[in-house]
Structure 1
Amino acid sequence: MSDSSDLQCGATDNEISWFSLRVGSVFIILATSMSGALFPVLARKTKWIHVPKEVFEFAKYFGSGVIIATAFIHLLAPGFDELTSPCLSGIWGDYDWAPAIAMMAVFAVFLVELFAFRWGTAKLRALGVEGYDAHGHCAGPSGAMGAHGPEGTDSVGAPLSAGVARILPSEAELEAGDEHTMTETSGAAQILGVAILEFGVIFHSVIIGLTLAVDENFIQLFIVIIFHQMFEGLGLGARLAFLDLPRAYRWAPLIGCIAYGVVTPIGIAAGLGVRSTYNPGSATASIVSGVLDSTSAGVLLYTGLVELLAHEFLFNPVMTGASNGRVVYAVVCMLVGAGIMALLGRWA
């Protein structure tokens, strides 16, 4: 550990190299982030882009691995480093705050989803719609996506199994107003699920942008972040693409992609604006980034392990009835995504 006298724990007088390229990185990262996130959504929602079903399958499972690796390698590990910085003192040195904050985030997400699920099912039950899962696990014509899309069909809209079909409300159970409320509640539940996922990604992306704007090893970090943001965007976009939303929410996937695409460039621009004094290793920056990284890690861990892995492989009737070959293919795609993101953690 460096001597305390050598630490730069406050504002610094930075000498920024590659300034023109740093400015250009705002637009380059914007393009790569946006393209990674938008491609799955546009490919599935538009008729003029014809993408084979296998590509969507790969993107979906690859994205699950990316999200889980991002939580462990790109969020939780930096959270440990930032919240154990030698610049911090007092309460920050008395406890391992990174895992504690991540744990609190896991329980916070769980409680939000628990109460939202109970509220949605209670509302539908009051309308006389029994057995309907407002969380989206057993309804709708899209792929098995947990809170990020209904479970019960495969990714190209194969028919519901008989067991699942029996618990859905029949037409006789639905009046016009009730059906509207049901689809609105289901859409809101799916939006909540993917909003939680995006929440975990966005704060991390802002910090990445701030760091890239002032980091001394700019070229190496820039190259890695191009791939990092593109793969992370692909994982998020694959989830957004398979949302089965009512018409009122049809723009939500595009809004989610755009929000993801712009946050890192905004972070870079903000970092360039304070480039002469901003110090990522300062006490204040370490606390802010450490808390945000640890919180985001908890959010993505819950989303990745519960909503993606458990609901994709264990509770998805399509996957439980699939051939061994298809399951192995899905697992390999997921491990490839996790492996690539873990490898990128070697440099960023």
Structure 2
Amino acid sequence: MLRQSFLHRLQDFRLLPVFVLVSMAIGIYTGKVYAISNFQLTPPIDALKAIFTGNYVFDLPNTLALGVVAGLFLMMYPAMTKIKFEDLGHAVKSPKQLAVVLFFNYAVAPFFMLLLAKTFLTAHPDFYVGLVLYGLAPCIAMVIVFTFLSLGNNALAIVLVALNSIMQMILIPVYAKLLLGTVDFDVWLVGESVLLYLGLPLLAGYLTRYFGIKKVGEEGFEKIRLYLDSLSIIGLLFTLAVMFALKGDLILSKPQFILLMAVPMTIFFWVMFAVVYLVGWKLGFSYEDAVAAAFNSTGRDFEIAIAIAITAFNPTVALATVVGPLIEVPVMLALVWFARATRKRLFTAVELK
């Protein structure tokens, strides 16, 4: 049985940057030791389909890549065990929060990313396309984890993710054609992603909560939250290690590729988060709602971007989108720290639940 002191250290937010750096280093070292190079990342949805049809090649990199799916589930599941379905009903009745996220995700984010691409990447057309692709679709998975780590409104985050999923199916083909020309896009990819990254963890979390409370009561269930919450951190660190193991060769051999994408992407994430967070504050949102809206307006759906790049563009464009999550996850963790650090400075005791 894991010692509680270790679990408390794991959840100590002051130590999280150290754990993140160690995970990234372990990932890069693993990739180097096992000579993983030029690995073409298959979108997890496609990988699972290939397994069920018997077409998946279980070599080391491909097997390791399945860890992304497992890691994302571990990250999402603990947050879902906190959700009460009545909270989802309250979250649906939050028109201002929904309107803010819709506006920034579909009237601001794609065009802001386009502006950054024009500013920084006009001399690198493939990376230009990759960056614009990355800005098209809001995240429908990991933003729930970042909201959870920020002590935000998890129920609202789930409702916003569901809303974004519907809007993506309608608007991604429109924005792709508008910003990049004709691009093939399978709208069912969004539905499959929602089922895998939202539906399954939500169902598992609900069943865990239902049977856990039935077995030990609500107070008893809260006592095991230390163990459940630790799974989210473990899943995050594991996912980081896997991602950096698969693409560590790129970081070591072509760091300029990382830098090309890092500058505009870092600007995008910080500006989008800060603006939406402050807009929520000015509109009188609670901290929990403001941080949920900010993450749901900032995070991007790397799986959708990678899938479009692989099917519709050349390998360099696909490479540009694969670089994205290597940058996004550490930056979003910095934003979690920023949100928690400003929580009591911006929001009153009444607003802090």
Indicate the TM-score class for this superposition, using the shorter chain for normalisation.
0.3 to 0.5
Bigger-Rg structure (1/2):
1
Greater RCO, 1 or 2 (C-alpha within 8 Å, sep 6+): 1
TM-score by length of 1: 0.38
More helix by share: 2
TM-score (norm 2): 0.38
